[in-house]
DNA sequence: TCAAAAATAGACCAGTCGTCTATAGCTTAT
DNA sequence: ATAAGCTATAGACGACTGGTCTATTTTTGA
């Protein structure tokens, strides 16, 4: 019935996550996924319409868990808004340069690969990244409101700029196997959040 | 002979480039590549040791062309250092939101996918990104020297921060099919290059 | 208790992959 | 001119792919 159903479906997703975070989407076959999950191959299509929709479900499941952790970090007691934000970036730094596939960033891993390949998966990535950035923007607003961040910060723009920065640094971290890009992002994040000036409209001069 | 040899090898690389920029590495088979190039399948392994080393060669060839274009932009006559740098970002903005697969960014497309999959390809990406960032740092130095950029800029750090920023924005552009992340990067790039303060050591406070 | 529905099982298909061996074609030296 | 040797071409090959299909088993609810 539905409980069992959801359990096994989720079990497939959970088992697949670190494998796909390691090898990517196209490079992994259903056999490998289902052997690891110890679920017979024939069952797969009972739970998922196709590999593509399985990928969409994997991303939805990933972002659901990610956003829950983000929510916990950004609503922690005993810290001001700036500190809560920095704890998120600090965690990002720690997880993305380690060896644990389980905690790697799915946006970095699959963003480039599947956005041109599958519209359902692209849209799942779109929904997920929008939620993350939007929650970060709220976090910045909270920091401005409690006085721990400069009040001339434009929350939505700043959230996007910071997320971009960390995304790019994480790509380079994968390529370099070295956390220097992430450290540079950490410095720059502190700089932006401390010394911010309003993001300006383009001057058109250049 | 060697001329013919090099021609066909390069022809395979040139034909493969837009296909791989569109679909990624693992999702594209040799058949598709070789049919498009109108080169028989069996010949492939005469020119390349394996698909993996073909991928390495593809990346080397990509970066060689990329760095040549970068060099041209950053040594253009009649502009100061800041203007030359901005012309590079402007070109990035234009190429990465268009539909032309030929001009898309290989680091964004393959960085996440192949860094865990193939060491030769990862190292090719490492060499290429290092060269790009290093040339950008030189460009920043030139801007500082001619007075068009603030002299408190730390060239190497700034180059890395900017490249990270644009890399991440390009990932989001692929996911969103929308150039807002790149526009935000453009604004932020201008802000950094105009209003720069020195990148500070971490305060340890947060 | 038993019929209906849900879930599992894995054989099977057409097609894919990268590899490999055999052959054809060209260059060069004698 | 021709033999030898190397380059390039050709396609067969086995292992595996994602996806489908029909049985079979298990669970559900009347």
Q: How far apart are CA B23 and CA A130, in angstroms?
A: 24
B68-106 pLDDT, tens per residue? Answer: 999 999 999 999 999 999 999 999 999 998 888 889 999
Cα separation, A79 vs A58, in Å, equals 33
**CB of A8 under 7 A from strand C?**
yes
Please judge whether B187 and A157 are an interchain contact, meaning their C-beta atoms are less than 8 angstroms apart: yes
Question: B186: distance to nearest CA of chain A, Å?
Answer: 8
pLDDT of residue A1: 31
Question: Phi and psi at residue A75, in whole multiples of 5°?
Answer: -130, 25
Cβ-based neighbours of A103, under 8 Å, separated by 6 or more: A95, A96
Span B11-59, pLDDT tens digits: 889 989 999 999 888 888 888 888 888 888 778 888 888 888 899 999 9
When CB atoms are compared, the residue of B171, B185, B203 closest to A171 is B171
Provide mean pLDDT across the span A174-192.
95
Q: What is the pLDDT of residue B5?
A: 53
Q: What's the DSSP call for residue A102? A: G
Shortest distance between the Cα of B42 and any Cα of chain A, in A, equals 23
pLDDT mean over A26-51: 83
Is residue B155 pLDDT above 50, yes or no? Answer: yes
Tell me if residue B106 falls in helix, strand or coil.
helix
Euclidean distance between CA atoms A164 and B21, whole angstroms: 21
CB of A184 within 8 A of CB of A172? no
Q: Given pLDDT bands bounded at 50, 70 and 90, which one contains residue B196?
A: low
Instruction: State residue A180's pLDDT score.
Output: 96
Whether residue B191 contacts residue A157, with contact meaning beta carbons closer than 8 Å, is answered with no
Whether residue A204 is predicted with pLDDT greater than 60 in this model: the reply is no
Instruction: Write down the mean pLDDT value for chain B.
Output: 89
Least confident of A54-58, A91-95, B91-95, B196-200: B196-200
At B48 the pLDDT is 87
Average pLDDT of span B166-175: 98
pLDDT one-digit tens code per residue, A14-29: 988 998 999 888 888 8
Q: Which two tokens stand for residue B111?
A: 């960085």
How many whole angstroms separate alpha carbon B18 and alpha carbon B39?
17
């Amino acid at each position: 019935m539905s409980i069992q159903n959801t359990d096994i479906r989720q079990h497939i997703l959970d088992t697949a996550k670190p494998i796909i975070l390691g090898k990517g989407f196209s490079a992994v076959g259903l056999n490998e996924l289902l052997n690891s999950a110890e679920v017979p191959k024939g069952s797969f299509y009972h739970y998922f319409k196709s590999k593509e929709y399985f990928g969409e479900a994997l991303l939805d499941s990933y972002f659901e868990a990610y956003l829950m952790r983000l929510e916990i970090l950004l609503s922690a007691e005993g810290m001001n808004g700036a500190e809560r934000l920095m704890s998120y970036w600090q965690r990002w730094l720690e997880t993305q340069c380690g060896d644990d596939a389980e905690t790697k960033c799915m946006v970095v891993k699959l963003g480039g690969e599947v956005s041109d390949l599958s519209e359902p998966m692209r849209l799942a990535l779109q929904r997920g990244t929008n939620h993350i950035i939007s929650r970060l923007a709220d976090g910045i607003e909270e920091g401005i409101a409690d006085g721990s961040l400069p009040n001339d910060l434009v929350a939505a723009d700043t959230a996007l700029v910071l997320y971009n920065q960390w995304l790019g640094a994480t790509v380079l971290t994968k390529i370099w196997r070295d956390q220097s890009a992430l450290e540079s992002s950490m410095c720059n994040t502190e700089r932006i959040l401390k010394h911010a000036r309003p993001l300006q409209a383009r001057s058109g001069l250049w």
